[in-house]
Amino acid sequence: MTWFSSPDDAGARLGEVGYLADPATATTTYLAGALEKPLLVEGPAGVGKTELAKAVARATGADLVRLQCYEGLDEARALYEWNYKKQLLRIQSSQGDDSTWSETHDDIFSEEFLLTRPLLTAISREEPTVLLIDEVDKTDVEVEGLLLEVLSDFQVTIPELGTVVAVRRPLVVLTSNASRELSEALKRRCLYLHLDYPDAAREREIVLSQVPELETKVAEQLVANVGRLRELELKKAPSIAESVDWARTLIALEIHELDDKAVDDTLGVVLKHSSDQARAVRELRLRR
């Protein structure tokens, strides 16, 4: 199966399922499908990295298999694990029988006792699959080594069973907040996409598509204000997720005019550091 027929097709189909992609995102997503290479998406928090993977799954009708990375993730939770307890049970229950040890030995290392984890699941599936490896920068360096075999050859080697090769290659999306440099070996195998804050027009479209009840005029004011906030030197600039939250807040509070007072009252929705709020109030002269 081809995932998308052209960059424009990728952009249009992502748009249909509610993800407004810019041309660079559409092109790179198309390439990830066409070249069957994993796609590494980096960018600040809340710009829609994870959402991109979900949108690709929705747009192509594929199922999403997700591996959430965290510190201390190991192969037992990423690839596969032998079901030790079941194996122990099997050994203990066969002690009374006449069956030989070699039979039991062969038996307990069969697929029945194998617990598949996300990476192996994604590879062994026959239906179209999008594999999302979320926040890959949170893992230890050893896990990256583990990913290499999966990402370059789409296969997993299990010593007792042999090599499992992908029946159908999944589309892999890796996301990272760049909290540490990923290894060159991993990056070399991936296509790279940096997602950043969108321009004003696109952000307005995104906000309006997520919160259709919002009036166009208020949406414009909101996007302009978010743009002004991003220009300030803040610890954490407001992301798209926060713009959408802001829009929902305005709906809930029934604010139809986003003036300085309204911005001041609802600033807590977009800025999450007290020093950032103080700075915004001062620089934008919200309290006169």
Partner 1 sequence: MTSGLVDRHIAFLEALRGAGLSVSLAEDLDAVAALSALPWDRRETVRDAYAATLVKKQVQRPTFETLFDVYFPSLVGEGVQGAEDESRDETGQVRDNAEALAEFREQLLEALADGDEERLARLAVEMVGRFGAMPGRGPGLSSWSAYTALQRVSPSQLVDRIVAALLAEGRTDDEAARTAGRRVGAFTRQVEADARRRIAEEKGPDHVANVAVKPSIDRLDFTAARKADLEEMRREIYPLARRLATRLTKEHHARRRGHLDFRRTVRASMSTGGVPLVTHHRPKRPHRTELVVLCDVSGSVASFAQFTLLLVFALRDQFQKVRAFTFIDHVHEVTHHFTPGADVVDVMSDLAASTAHAALWGRTNYGRAFTKFTEEHADALGPKSSLLILGDARSNYSDLALDRLQAMAGAARHSWWLNPEHHRHWDTGDSVAGRYGEVVPMVECRNLTQLGEFVHDLV
Q: Which residues bind partner 1 (CB under 8 A)?
A: 6-7, 23-24, 27-28, 30-31, 34-35, 37, 40, 42, 71-72, 84-85, 88, 92, 140, 178-181, 184, 187-194, 228, 231, 233, 235, 273-276, 278-279, 283-285
Closest approach of Cβ 282 to partner 1, in Å?
A: 9
Closest approach of Cβ 124 to partner 1, in Å?
A: 26
Q: Which residue has the tokens 């829609």?
A: 48
Closest approach of Cβ 65 to partner 1, in Å?
A: 23
Q: Which residues of 70-109 are buried (b: 16+ CB within 10 A; e: fewer)?
A: eeebebebbbbbeeeeebeeeeeebeeeeeeeeebeeebb
> What CA–CA distances, in Å, run from 132 to 10, 51, 55, 81, 180?
18, 10, 11, 20, 19
Minimum CB distance to partner 1 smaller for 12 or for 34:
34
Minimum CB distance to partner 1 smaller for 215 or for 231:
231
Minimum CB distance to partner 1 smaller for 34 or for 251:
34
Closest approach of Cβ 43 to partner 1, in Å?
A: 8
Closest approach of Cβ 267 to partner 1, in Å?
A: 15
Computed from CA positions of residues 73, 74, 79, 81, in that sequence, does the dihedral angle turn out positive or negative? negative
Minimum CB distance to partner 1 smaller for 48 or for 65:
48
Give the start-end residues of each E strand in the chain: 39-42, 63-68, 80-82, 114-116, 129-134, 155-158, 162-165, 171-176, 191-194
Minimum CB distance to partner 1 smaller for 13 or for 189:
189
Query: Do residues 110 and 80 make contact, with C-beta atoms less than 8 angstroms apart?
Result: no
Closest approach of Cβ 177 to partner 1, in Å?
A: 9
Query: Do residues 105 and 65 make contact, with C-beta atoms less than 8 angstroms apart?
Result: no
Minimum CB distance to partner 1 smaller for 38 or for 118:
38
